[in-house]
Structure 1
């Protein structure tokens, strides 16, 4: 079971930070039903997060675990402020990712909640 979970986690990378269930199945070379079951459990545990467009990405629990590794020291101090900033931006705009932080001139955020008032991470 663990080897299959790690195959799913290894499917993610800088060029693929969020993947659909089908993509995860193909990249991990497992049946979609098996992938679905494992991804569901990983999401339930917070290791993976489900995005608004039904894709999956690394969850905060993954950061918690990675920060415990000796080479991960300082990872939390670097990543958490940026993740918190993105979480606030998502709350403000109701969107995730770069499109969620578009300016109000593009219609990206409500007039009373605009990301430009947030400090830079």
Structure 2
């Protein structure tokens, strides 16, 4: 693919356009996309037009664009995330029904925790997580589990980088995080009070597929809640999900 004067390939420019969309930015003009993707307006308009023609973006009556259903369709074809989500949902529903709190499924993606699913109860407490949203690995219960069981090279890269605070209680000291990650590997779960929001406690366990940790299953509880029932419910659900993953293998 042809490169731009900056050296970016056309594919890289297309990815930059698509990455301007997010949970809080679902509808944009081509001019806004150009600015956020740091592309010339003419280039951004041309890419947007091509993506609309292919069905990867959709344009409304005011000429604003959103991610298209065809992009969603392509993303789900043969996706390991879809298989994981399908195996997990029935068991997540049981956890959510029992605990009546937020129940979440996350995977490791580009050194962040990417949330594939979230179930919530109307009376559940605060939670900033969204489906298709991301959090730093060190700053949530799901992320801590994923980081604890990640490839050592990934773990070292994350710990050597910036560890920003999401809340006043987010652990940002690499040495303290190393100790916590070692404890998670021993225990098989984590309890993270206040790491994302002061009023909440995250509890998470790993889900394994083919012997490797493929995801983290978590709940978000009120800060003062007893975590023992959540740990038990999550372990039971994770075991059932792992069995269903084995049964769903081609």
Bigger Rg over Cα: 2
Deviation at 1:72, TM superposition (A): 3.2
CA distance in 2, matches of 1:17, 1:72: 22
CA distance in 2, matches of 1:4, 1:41: 12
* Structure 2 counterparts to residues 5-84 of structure 1, below 5 A: 5-68=14-77, 69-73=79-83
Conserved in 2, the CA contact under 8 Å of 1:66 and 1:72? no
Q: CA RMSD in A?
A: 1.8
Deviation at 1:31, TM superposition (A): 0.3
Higher helix fraction (1 or 2): 1
CA distance in 2, matches of 1:71, 1:17: 22
Aligned residues: 76
Aligned structure 1 segments of 4 or more residues deviating by more than 4 angstroms: none
Unaligned runs of 5+ in 2: 1-9, 87-250
Unaligned runs of 5+ in 1: 76-121
For normalisation by structure 1, the TM-score amounts to 0.59
